[in-house]
Amino acid sequence: MSVLAELQKASLSPGPEFHPEKHPMDDFLRMDRMPHIWCSTCGIGVSVNCFAKALEKCQVPLDQLVVVSGIGCTGRVAGYVKVDSFHTTHGRAIPFATGLKLANPKLKVIVFSGDGDIIAIGGNHFINAARRNIDITVICVNNFNYAMTGGQMASTTPEKSILSTAPFGSYEFPFNLPFLAESVGAVYVARWTSLHVYNQTNSMVEAIQKPGFSFIEIIAPCPTIFERQQKMGDGLDRLRWYCENSDIRNGASTKEADIRLRDRMVVGKFVDVERPTYLQAMNAHYQERLGSKYKVYEG
């Protein structure tokens, strides 16, 4: 039977369970698409696990949750979570999420994408959405390269890293994402690694519940591409490295959060402030200006 015929047959039924045993999080995942494509010891699966746990903890009704992602390894997250999910074009997950949120403010919109997608090609959208304080949560899994296409240099790549488009080592200075996010007005900024699962989960709970633009950066190992090109072992070696070399400094200044390839790393919850969201500011302003002629926008 051709692939197509098999799929058409499958489309008419809910889809075969991949495994007879069940994990408590299986209701949250599209089990008919498992196993996922992420490599062994990749950190993205850990982030999805923490995300599932965070949703359980903050009891967001899953019918109102929307996950938007871009292109890349992390961009595949949208395809594996069983909520309304959108796999959009490269770098444009944030404006798509903006459109979703503004058209229906009751939706809880999460952008789950990678570092190249969010801050390189999507950089302009990132800084403007943060400036406007659109009420979305951006989870950026940072593996320091463009992994899906084979390990090219990214704007978060630490100096002296060897990558497929920097075969003699990179000489570009990378972004300090928490510093960038704070400076453009994000109201919640945190950075954790794949090892810090409980911290990640708690940060996700806080970010989802907090109105405004929340940004969580998750430093994840990329064993097949980044760690292999740097000859730093596999994901487990990298987690051990995070364990030895990451300092949890909640409330630290984001200026100190630069990442160097073999230096100590700062993680923690850096920023947690209050600012009116885009819709709150819009409604307040129009009510003041237009008085009774203006009906508060609720979607």
Nearer to other proteins, 4 or 168 (CB): 4
Choice from 58, 197, 232, 252 touching other proteins (CB under 8 A): 197
Q: How far is the CB of 113 from other proteins (least distance, A)?
A: 14
Choice from 55, 77, 78, 259 touching other proteins (CB under 8 A): 78
Beta-carbon contacts of residue 93 (< 8 Å; ≥ 6 apart): 68, 69, 70, 75, 86, 111, 113, 117, 118, 122
Asked if 77 touches other proteins (CB under 8 A), the answer is no
Is residue 213 a contact partner of residue 135, using CB atoms and an 8 Å limit?
Answer: yes
Choice from 119, 235, 266, 277 touching other proteins (CB under 8 A): 235
Asked if 245 touches other proteins (CB under 8 A), the answer is no
- 3-state SS record for the chain: CCHHHHHHHHHCCCCCCCCCCCCCCHHHECHHHCCCCCCCCCCHHHHHHHHHHHHHHHCCCHHHEEEEECCCCHHHHHHHECCEEEECCCCCHHHHHHHHHHHCCCCEEEEEEEHHHHHHHCHHHHHHHHHHCCCCEEEEEECCEECCCCCEECCCCCCCCCECCECCCCCCCCCCHHHHHHHCCCCEEEEEECCCHHHHHHHHHHHHHCCCCEEEEEECCCHHHHHHHHCCCCHHHHHHHHHHHEEECCCCCHHHCCCCCCCCEEEEEEEECCCCCHHHHHHHHHHHHHHHHCCCCCC
Asked if 42 touches other proteins (CB under 8 A), the answer is yes
Asked if 7 touches other proteins (CB under 8 A), the answer is yes
According to CB under 8 A, which residues from 92 to 121 bind other proteins?
92, 95-104, 106-107
Nearer to other proteins, 236 or 273 (CB): 236
According to CB under 8 A, which residues from 154 to 183 bind other proteins?
none
Q: How far is the CB of 229 from other proteins (least distance, A)?
A: 19
Nearer to other proteins, 79 or 276 (CB): 79
Asked if 30 touches other proteins (CB under 8 A), the answer is yes
**Total number of residues binding other proteins (CB under 8 A)?**
83
Asked if 281 touches other proteins (CB under 8 A), the answer is no
CA distances from 131 to 124, 134, 246 (A): 11, 8, 29
Q: How far is the CB of 79 from other proteins (least distance, A)?
A: 6
Q: How far is the CB of 53 from other proteins (least distance, A)?
A: 6
Nearer to other proteins, 194 or 277 (CB): 194
Choice from 73, 74, 88, 230 touching other proteins (CB under 8 A): 88
Is residue 44 a contact partner of residue 74, using CB atoms and an 8 Å limit?
Answer: yes
Nearer to other proteins, 44 or 153 (CB): 44
According to CB under 8 A, which residues from 249 to 278 bind other proteins?
none
- Specify the pairing of strand 137-142 against strand 214-219: parallel
Nearer to other proteins, 251 or 291 (CB): 291
Choice from 45, 174, 178, 268 touching other proteins (CB under 8 A): 45
Asked if 25 touches other proteins (CB under 8 A), the answer is yes
Nearer to other proteins, 87 or 249 (CB): 87
Asked if 16 touches other proteins (CB under 8 A), the answer is no
